[in-house]
Structure 1
Amino acid sequence: MTTSDDAHHRAPAAAYAAAAEAAGRAPSIHNTQPWHWQVHPDRLDLFADTSRGLPGTDPDQRMLLVSCGAALHHAQVALHAQGYEVAVRPLPDPAHPEHLATLAVDGTTPVTADAVRLVQAIQLRHTDRRPNVDVPVTGEQLEELRRVAGAVGVELHRLTADQATELAVAVSHAEDAAAGEPSWQAETARWTGPDRAEGTGLPPEVIPDKRPETDVGERFFGSHGTLEVGGGHDKASTYVVLFGAEDDRAAWLRAGQALSAVWLHATLQGLAVLPYSQVIEIDATRAMMRRILSNLGYAYVVLRLGVADPDHPLPGHTPRLSFDETTTVDPAS
């Protein structure tokens, strides 16, 4: 196991590079990986890469910021597991909105077993679109996830049965809207079809071979994949929403950090996570989510939590861009 003394003697620039590499495993909408890192001797800078954005699906860049926020948190986790305390400055330069955050080492810290397990969860985390088995999420598990979301300033609310029914209606409206919008269809095809850029997008093996039987419908990607859904209906799944009082770029970035924190801890709990971002991508369904929350805040992303079938592990993971494609290293580093 790495010790804090080992980390203290490692050049910070090497730790920053390792963190940027780990952040490449973060979840992102359609696996677009819309981030770019700059490694310097004294800091790690995160930028939005809008060339991998979704102007039709995500014109306000909400989900782009959430995706980048998840990568930001992954980098924080990686640095912490190397024995470093980290200071984060979000949106440090208003004149350059694509500059999303600066991370800088702010001291050393003992490397705990929990820190190591959390960074290991980065490699284990994945999206499973198949129905979950009939094992409920416990109150203790939800309380831990609520705590880790709250640690970065985001609320986690478990939807009641009635609210889950309202969510199902909102998802249905979002899917109907997407089906009738050519720009959304074209973007979906770009990131899920055979012409998707190498290292990005969703390959057929992670897309269900038929529509799963679920209380809340899932995103339809225009065609079926090769992931065998099997039988079953995820009646034991729990739906939660990450939300907050603000609805701006800083809030969306923070929501991504919370998404990463919740997902990594859920992975360690043995839970499967499926995000529902389509209800956030459309003005009408975003308003529906605000009403579901009794106007107490703005929804950032909805998550389905449950236990995946242990006898049928996911056959593959989504591809990833190489380190050189997402990171620039300052020659002085």
Structure 2
Amino acid sequence: MTEALYRAVVAAGRAPSAHNAQPWRWRLAGAELDLFADPDRMLGVPDPAGHLATVSCGAALHHGRLSLAAQGWQVTVDRRPASTGSRHLARLHIDGPAAASPGTARLARAIGRRHTDLRPLTGRPIEPRELRTVVRAFNSHDIRVHILRPDQILELAVAAARSSAAGPDEEQWRDQLALWTGADRIAGAVDRVRLPGQQGEHDRAATFAVLHGRGDHAKDWLCAGEALSAGWLVATQYGMSLMPFSAPIEQDRWRETLRHVAPDLDHPYVMMRLGRHETPAVTPPTPRLNVEQIIERVQAR
């Protein structure tokens, strides 16, 4: 059992995180794993409310419990244990052995293949059937998905063209909109504002989506991270690339612009770009913390 929990921590260490900060740590005690946020790893990353760290921890939580399920263990998850501090986000408890389904095993294997690829999406479009399957994976823990229409993306691109902000997240967001609009889409732009555009290859068939839900508490942001992980791994199985954005969510002006463009949204948690690349990625995987840096062993309670 201890070995299974240790392997779960290793799998959780592969989870996506804002700026690859990996802002989590684990405490192992008997048949339980406790997940804590580690905001010190977010130093230098604009995250005043801790939303990015909590979403990242939610993705790690999903990776960890998926690993345990694939190893043949039944697990109970207690999110935000009431008797603990604000950094204590969840507790995983092994209840006993359980048969792992082939689907669970396949999804767990996708953990090793999942990565972030910033290149333009120049591969074949996502088929509607595939998109429905990925959307179902995102729809968990009261988290929902809103697929943005092309005209809504254009409105966001116009807002980006008018913005004078120059933070790193804002620049990344504008760069991605430029990849989507492309130089050949600038003519006839909304309100005659010159859209951000780039020459050469651009996103031919990108799908932009927003994870959103009814709540705005830490538990809601944690569940958003779990949903992000679940959908990302299914997208990986289909050969899709996913890239999350934080600027449209963390910046107040962008959040209000997003709600104006898509009035049906509740609380937006994560914005994503989905699609395919024409060729496989050749970049090395991002560096990860050694498991001994993020796990603490204590006596069983």
**Distance in 1 of aligned mates of 2:202 and 2:48:** 34
Runs of 4+ in 1 over 4 A off after TM superposition: 169-175, 210-213
**Closer, same or farther: CA 144–211 of 1 in aligned 2, 3 Å:** closer
Closer, same or farther in 2 for the Cα pair 1:292/1:86, shift >3 Å? farther
- Which residue is 2:141 aligned to? 152
Which residue of the partner structure matches residue 77 of structure 2?
Answer: 88
Q: Which amino acid aligns with 1:14?
A: E
1:57 corresponds to 2:46: yes
Q: Matches of 2:96 and 2:161 in 1, distance apart?
A: 49
Structure 1 pair 173/300, CA: closer, same or farther in 2 (3 Å)? farther
How far has the Cα of 1:167 moved from its partner?
A: 3.1
Secondary structure at 2:167's aligned position in 1?
helix
Does the Cα contact within 8 Å between 1:131 and 1:213 map onto a contact in 2? no
Are 2:104 and 1:135 aligned? no
Q: Which amino acid aligns with 2:292?
A: D
Structure-1 residue corresponding to 2:64 = 75
Distance 2:155 2:217 in 1: 25
Higher alpha-carbon deviation: 112-121 or 51-60: 51-60
- Hey, what's the Cα distance between the residues in 2 that align with 1:274 and 1:171? 18
Which residue of structure 2 lines up, in the alignment, with residue 240 of structure 1?
Answer: 209
Q: Give the CA deviation at 1:317.
A: 1.2
C-alpha separation in 1, matches of 2:300 and 2:83: 26
Measured against aligned partners, the alpha-carbon deviations of 1:127-186 in whole angstroms (never above 9, x if no partner) come to 00000114111111221122112233210111111111233345567782526xxxx89x
Report the 3-state secondary structure (helix = DSSP H, G, I; strand = E; otherwise coil) of the residue aligned with 2:146. strand
- 1:41 Cα offset (Å): 0.7
Match of 1:279 in 2: 248
What percent identity do the matched residue pairs reach?
A: 39
User: What is the TM-score normalised by the length of structure 1?
Assistant: 0.78
Contact 1:157 1:240 (C-alpha < 8 Å) held by counterparts: yes
Q: 1:326 aligns with which of 278, 294, 297?
A: 294
> Normalization by structure 2: what TM-score?
0.86
What SS is found at the alignment partner of 2:180?
coil
Change over 3 Å in CA distance of 1:47–1:169 after alignment to 2: farther
Q: Distance in 1 between matches of 2:233 and 2:199?
A: 26
Q: Once the two structures are superposed, what CA deviation does each residue of 1:23-73 show, in whole Å capped at 9, x if it has no partner? A: 000000100000000111121000001111246611001111000000000
Report the counterpart of residue 266 of structure 1 in structure 2: 235
Q: Check whether the contact 1:237–1:305 (CA below 8 A) recurs between aligned residues.
A: yes
Query: What CA distance in whole angstroms lies between the structure 1 residues aligned with 2:269 and 2:163?
Result: 15
Determine if the alignment matches structure 1 residue 101 to structure 2 residue 90. yes
Query: Residues 64-97 of structure 1: CA distance to partner in whole angstroms, max 9, x if unpaired?
Result: 1000000000001101100112111111036500
Q: Deviation digits for residues 286-310 of structure 1, max 9, x if unmatched?
A: 1222223315401111111111122
Q: Determine helix, strand or coil for the equivalent of 2:250.
A: coil
Cα–Cα, structure 1 residues 288 and 234, in superposed 2: closer, same or farther, change >3 Å? same
Unaligned stretches of 5+ residues in structure 2: 183-197
CA separation in 1, counterparts of 2:139 and 2:49?
A: 25
Residue number in structure 2 paired with 1:42: 31
Question: Could you tell me whether the CA contact under 8 Å between 1:39 and 1:328 is conserved in 2?
Answer: yes
SS at match of 1:279: helix
Partner letter of residue 117 of structure 1?
A: R
CA positional deviation for 1:327: 1.0
Deviation at 1:123, TM superposition (A): 0.8
SS at match of 1:234: coil
Distance 1:271 1:41 in 2: 38
How many equivalent residue pairs?
284
Structure 2 distance, partners of 1:148, 1:242, is 12
Q: Does 2:254 align with 1:289?
A: no
Of 249, 255, 260, which aligns to 2:218?
A: 249
- Contact 1:274–1:303 (CA<8 Å) still a contact in 2? yes
CA shift in 2, pair 1:112/1:213, >3 Å: same
Where do 5+ consecutive residues of structure 1 fail to align? Answer: 1-11, 189-206, 218-228
Does the 8 Å contact 2:59/2:227 carry over to 1?
yes
